[in-house]
Amino acid sequence: MKELLTGNEAVARGAYEAGVVYASAYPGTPSTEIMETIATYKGDIIAEWAPNEKVALESAIGASIAGARTLASMKHVGLNVAADPLFTFAYTGVNGGMVIISADDPGVHSSQNEQDNRNYAKFAKIPMLEPSDSQEAKDMVRYALEISEKYDTPVLMRMTTRVCHSKSLVELAERNNVPKKPYVKNLQKYDAVPAVAKILREKIEERLKKLEDFSNETELNFIEMNDSKIGVIASGVAYQYAKEVFKDGASYLKIGFSYPLPMKKIKEFASKVETLYVIEELDPFMEEQIKAAGIKCIGKEKIPAMGELNPDIIAKNLLGKENRVIEYDRSIVAKRPPVLCAGCPHRGFFYDLTKRKDIVITSDIGCYGLSSQPPLNAKDTSICMGAGFSMAHGAQKVFNKFNEKMKTVAVLGDSTFFHSGITSLLNAVYNKSNAVFCILDNRITGMTGHQENPGTGFTLQGDPTVITDIEKVVRALGVENVRTVNPLEISEMKDAMDWALSNEELTVIITKWPCVLKKLSQKDKDDFGDYKGLCYVDDNKCIGCKICIKTGCPALKYDKKLNKVSIDKTQCVGCKLCVQVCPKKAISKVGE
């Protein structure tokens, strides 16, 4: 039977069919749907959200050592977080097979950087697979687990955005319930103290030689001979693009197992074609190794080393052909940058911050990152998950040393606090910071699509669980100045921020209100009530001062001709932020 699946859904299906028993992840585009789909195989696979990628990988490592086939998935920057356990697990090797999915984001569609995680395979000295469509994505999970167990190594599988989210037909199969391997205590394998690690280090090099032999033999790397004037070596989705451009007018070496590279097979292929192109997204990962082996080829001289590839780019750069496109006046296209939703609880918090002077706002990765958009303009920095708190601490120390009248205000969300904000806060407590740390708790992991986290009360597979109380955690870490507020109440927010900025000690403000798009749990309803409704503007009172517009709410519209503001009924949820800022009391909530 065949089904139309995205690459992410296909990976999940591959895990199911290959007998994976345990899987863990932290959500992040473009990888999120892998674990959300695996979670549907409840009963066969234990699927969990972890607080961060390092914990996800470490949990999967434990499951592997216990003897089960395991999977950990993450977006590309998540592998940076998980790099510490990855490099040592590469030394120890596995018991049950282990595949690690890295979903790279060429083109920086939804990330803070663009990195080519194939380099991690070479760096950590582990094998790597690269699917080019959904069928391969499913099949390669099984291959990866078999290679993992045969060669005693974790295996990296690199997806990219276009493979993750594109759909193609996939042939389904039944689940292979691979028996769990027995756990055997083995300190010489799993206890990576220096005496053991030195021995394991040598074994890694022996393993890489065997893996290169496998790379030359495996059907994952195959040659398609057509016209010999042009030869193309390609991996991942770049292979599909090359086929679309050259069709049968070129010969191909399709690389599915891309580390270690099949150098014998590459030399054989190169000897049969006149001109050899290496087509790959982002870094010259294969090209550099091929050129280092003395094989003449053309790569990044013609193919861009940043951004997503597509057939048009390949056709233009290698064949000088430009495909016809529909021409239009780009100057009339309205710019629609992402903004905080109407009714977003973060808006009240940032509205207050916009009125503050002499502060540096160190933000983090999440919906609140959109606070940099006008008219709020309420953010100075954004580096990585958890960095907002750590950066605020470092910056505040410097401002204090040079007697500068500056305060740092750090901002992160509830899921980010659990991800890596806790340790940053602990560092600030330990090192006696006097910055202001703000945790915007909207009761869900917002930006990636409402995944559960330790504060929501539910596991990934829908089971009720313990709700971690953020204020109790903050106090347990040693913070004495803590206040939890409703961010939609401007006076309450202002009072809390006045108090925090005047404190000479570390202060934490927790804003607590559910994401406007969240499906409320019974506890949410008990805690926050049924507050949603609709606001309206009294035209007789509105003077067109536009103070309400400065909240940045997309439901508010200003008519220049009438010099009046109106409210879009399809967007407004009645949060009443605009009601509170209007100096003429021209805005009210229906029914109040």
Q: Which residues pair with 98 in a beta bridge?
A: 70
Between CA 586 and CA 157 the distance in angstroms is 58
Q: Which amino acid, residue 463?
A: D
Tell me how many degrees the CA angle 498-503-506 measures, rounded to the nearest 5. Answer: 115
DSSP three-state, residue 254: strand
The stretches of 72-193 forming alpha helices (DSSP H) are: 76-81, 83-92, 118-124, 134-151, 161-165, 187-190
How much is the pLDDT for 426?
97
Beta-strand pair 407-413/257-259:
unpaired
Length of the chain: 592
What kind and span of H or E run contains 475?
A: helix 470-476
Q: Residue 559 CB: number of other CB atoms within 10 A?
A: 11
> Closest by alpha carbon to 87, among 63, 64, 58, 116?
58
Q: For the chain, what percentages of helix, strand and coil (3-state, to nearest 5) are there? A: 40, 20, 40
Distance between CA 31 and CA 34 in Å, rounded? 6
Q: Is 120:75 a contact under the CB 8 Å cutoff?
A: no
List the one residue out of 33, 104, 95 whose CA is nearest residue 70: 95
By CB neighbour count within 10 A (0-12 exposed, 13-18 middle, 19+ buried), where does 171 fall? exposed
Q: Alpha carbon of 186 to those of 191, 192, 457: distances in Å?
A: 8, 11, 38
Q: d(Cα 438, Cα 424) in Å, to the nearest integer?
A: 12
| Confidence at residue 292, expressed as pLDDT on a 0 to 100 scale | 98
Residue type (1 letter), 312: D
What's the confidence (pLDDT) of residue 369? 87
- pLDDT value of residue 206: 97
285 phi, psi to nearest 5 deg: -65, -50
Peptide bond into 554 cis (omega under 30): no
Q: Containing H/E element for 62? A: helix 53-66
List C-alpha distances in Å: 28 to 35, 52, 75, 329: 10, 10, 5, 35
Residue 284: half-sphere exposure toward Cβ, Cα within 13 Å? 16
Q: pLDDT tens digits for 518-577?
A: 999 999 999 999 889 999 999 999 999 999 999 999 999 999 999 999 999 999 999 999
Q: 3-state class of 190 per DSSP? A: helix
Order of strands across the sheet with 407-413? Answer: 359-362, 407-413, 436-441, 507-512, 481-485
Predicted TM-score of the model (pTM)? 0.94
Give residue-wise pLDDT tens across range 368-391: 888 988 899 999 999 999 999 999
R_g (Cα) of the chain, nearest Å: 27
Burial category of 321 from C-beta neighbours within 10 Å (exposed 0-12, middle 13-18, buried 19 and up): exposed
**Mean pLDDT, each 10-residue run in order, the chain (592 residues):** 97 98 96 97 97 97 97 97 97 98 94 95 98 98 98 98 96 97 96 95 97 98 97 98 97 98 98 98 98 97 96 95 86 86 95 94 90 90 93 96 96 96 97 97 94 96 97 98 97 97 97 94 91 94 96 95 96 96 96 87
Task: List the beta bridge partners of residue 277.
Answer: 232, 298
Residue 63: per-residue pLDDT: 97
